[in-house]
A and B are shown apart, each in its own frame.
Chain A
Amino acid sequence: MAYLELKNVSKSYGTGKDRVEVLKDINLTIEEGEFVAIVGFTGSGKTTLINLINGLEFPDEGEVLLQGKPITGPGPDRGVVFQNYSLLPWLTVAQNIKLAIDEVYPSAPKKEKQEMIEKYVGMVHLSHAIDKLPSELSGGMRQRVSVARALAMNPKMLLMDEPLSALDALTRGTLQEEIVNIWGEDRKTCLLITNDVDEGIVMADRIIPLNPGPKATLGPNFKVDLARPRVIAEINKNDVYKHLRNEILEYLIDVGASRSSQKTAQYELPDLKPVMPGRIKWGFRKKKEKLQYF
């Protein structure tokens, strides 16, 4: 049985005239231990999709099944890494992670909790910054804390919503490797949402493009048959990688183009006549026009 299953899921916002159908007939199955990446344009409904899975929102039609049972809300079995870190700025790194640990192991002794915090902070290589506030950390470090917080709940599944899109390319590369390494240790089920095809190929087993919304649907599966560990510098020259990358990009550009051509509306240009300099009549003043200073 699939670990996560989405069956004909549709989701829309607003009512009446303002109703926007974001997702339409989404079908997705993820097996246990699989690393799936969903690639799509910004605004195509990626965040809505992940919110349906983490339980912050519920589908209008269809159902989201986790191990065969419908999702009723957020739970510690799904750890979430948000796009904008979402760390609590008044808590230190350790306190932010403790929040997650307190929820999952409420009755663990204090010392054990402290050890767990140190373990997860060490996992993302932030032991030196354990007592710092998020405002004292760089973007990459903040996102690592966010990853550590998600892992600290010891979830069966990790959901990542464009976790690296706010980071620079170099930091992104190292963090991609780190996340894949952590994933490789216990092979949790992983769902990555991203707008970067390369990121998907480097990290995931399977890539699914999300056709842009409104009424976004999922595209065909692209299997990534590259041996792990994948090092960016090496697979850059790999023919399989190049081929796969081009295939996905072409698909995305095609669907993007077909969507945008549908959208084009006919605009009517206003009928304006340019004023020619020679046609201004001098000495002709409108009446009743007074300058008012106050």
Chain B
Amino acid sequence: MKERILQLTGIQAFLAPWISVIKGEEVQKNVQALLKSYIYPLLSILLFIGIWHAGATYLFNKEATAKIEKARTERGEAGALEMQNCIISGDVSCQPNTLPSPAKVWDAYLSLLADHKIISAKKDAFDLKVAKTNEKRIAKGQDPITYTGRPSFVDQIKTSLKTVFAGFLLAAFIAIPIGIVIGLSTTLRTSFNWLIQILKPVSPVVWLLLVFMIVKTVMSDSDMDKSFMISFISVGLCSMWATLVNTSMGVSTVDKDFVNVAKVLKLSIGQNIFKVVLPSSLPMIFTGLRITLSVAWMVLIAIELLAQSPGLGSFVWEEFQNGASDSNAKIIVAMFVIGMIGFMLDRIMMVVQKMMSFNK
């Protein structure tokens, strides 16, 4: 099982050349493989960072020159000199606001980590302090006191993951059963096709507004987390279409031989669905789920940004509104984190998908 997971994730293929080189098997061939799978990707990363750095430096200089010129026209030569010195000294108050360089982004990443450490330490201290009071409150049947301070970057990531999984599960629970029902019946498929085709391309923003209209009324007097509800339901509704279409497609295109077997064996509807239709369409369903998860992660950021629910999206938006000297760098950090988590989610789904598919 462990080996199979290693193999499916591609970790095994990734590590294989190292292991072989260390063992001394077919050294020349494996060194070439090493070059191909490590050195060239590394070079491409360096190239990317180099271009980024050059571009950021150019933009920085341009912005700095513009600032100095502006100071000159407003306050004369002395003002220009003052501005120039201020920029060179690296003072926070007068830094040009533009694309941050890789080094600044790295610094911002470290500062975010440090910030997380401080906040979690505070949280632990708080929890320790209120532990006794909470016990009493719970005994009395009251809600425990929770930490309500500013969430750290890592907390935001956790909230986002929670929202995306809730949305993904909602999408799966809606789309797979409907997909199966629609796939089994040509009549249903043709009668609901228009609805699917029209709703599929609707933008995440519109879904959010629609969900907002409904949830606002339905939950007007409930004390549940409304913004979380709105964001995860809209994520689910945006992303479920890929699974719905793929499931109905997979179910309606079951191999004719299998359909004939089911008919000849006179399988009941339940047996037919669970023994024939579902297993044969599982690969398609999981392809759909994989697309759904990546779409969910993609729209999540936009939806959080608009729904004001905590998470990476609102982190990005707050940083943009904030306009501090390292805000831009933090936005770029968030961008990479979002990208990497998306990549990881896709990999996980790929492994599950491969484990579920059968070979004929």
- A residues near B (Cβ < 8 Å) are 54-56, 73-76, 78, 80, 82, 84, 86, 88-91, 99-100, 102-103, 133, 135, 153
Q: Which of B243-284 contact A (CB under 8 A)?
A: 257-258, 260-261, 263-267, 271, 275-276, 279-280
Q: Which of A84, A135, A153 is the one whose CB lies under 8 Å from B265?
A: A153
| Residues A82 and B261 in contact in the complex (CB < 8 Å), given A88-B276, A89-B358, A90-B358 | yes
Selected from A74, A84, A133, the residue in CB contact (under 8 A) with B263 is A74
Once the chains bind, are B279 and A90 in contact (CB under 8 Å)?
A: yes
Residues of B within 8 A of A (CB): 257-258, 260-261, 263-267, 271, 275-276, 279-280, 358-360
A91 to B275, CA, bound (A): 8
Closest 6 A-B residue pairs measured CB to CB?
A: A86-B257, A90-B279, A90-B358, A74-B264, A86-B261, A80-B264
- How far, in Å, is A78 (CB) from chain B's closest CB? 8
Give Cα A89–Cα B279 distance, bound, in whole angstroms.
9
> With a CB–CB cut-off of 8 A, which chain B residues contact A90?
279-280, 358
Interface of B is mostly: helix
Q: Determine how close the nearest CB of chain B comes to the CB of A193; give it in whole angstroms.
A: 15
Contact B261 A135 (CB under 8 A): no
Contact for A99 among B260, B263, B275, B359, CB less than 8 A: B275
In the complex, chain A residues whose CB is within 8 Å of the CB of B261: 82, 86, 88
Write the chain B residue with the least CB distance to A159.
Answer: B264
Is the beta-carbon distance between B257 and A99 smaller than 8 angstroms? no
Contacts of A56 in B (CB 8 A): 260, 263-264
Whole-angstrom CA separation of A80 from B280 in the bound complex: 21
With the chains together, A100 CA to B261 CA distance in Å?
Answer: 10
Q: Return the contact of B258 from the options A55, A86, A102 (Cβ within 8 A).
A: A86
Contact status B265-A103, CB under 8 Å? yes
- The distance from the CB of A16 to the nearest CB of chain B, in whole angstroms, is 22
Determine whether the beta carbon of A89 is less than 8 Å from that of B359.
yes
Q: How far is the CA of A82 from the CA of B258 in the complex (A)?
A: 11
Residue of A nearest to B276 (CB): A88
Q: Which residues of A contact B275 (CB under 8 A)?
A: 88, 91, 99
If A74-B263, A89-B359, A99-B275 are given as contacts, then 5 extra A-B residue pairs at C-beta distance below 8 Å, sorted by A number, are A56-B260, A74-B266, A88-B261, A90-B358, A135-B360
Residues of B within 8 A of A78 (CB): 264
The residue in chain A whose Cβ has the minimal distance to the Cβ of B359 is A135
The answer on a CB contact under 8 Å between B264 and A54 is: yes
Please state if A76 and B267 are interface contacts (CB–CB under 8 Å).
no
Instruction: Judge whether B271 and A102 touch: CB under 8 Å.
Output: yes
Q: What residue in chain B is nearest A95 (Cβ atoms)?
A: B275
Give 29 CB contacts A-B under 8 Å.
A54-B264, A55-B263, A55-B264, A56-B264, A74-B263, A74-B266, A78-B264, A82-B257, A82-B260, A84-B257, A86-B257, A86-B260, A86-B261, A88-B261, A88-B275, A88-B276, A88-B279, A88-B280, A89-B360, A90-B279, A90-B358, A91-B275, A99-B265, A99-B267, A99-B275, A100-B265, A102-B271, A103-B271, A133-B358
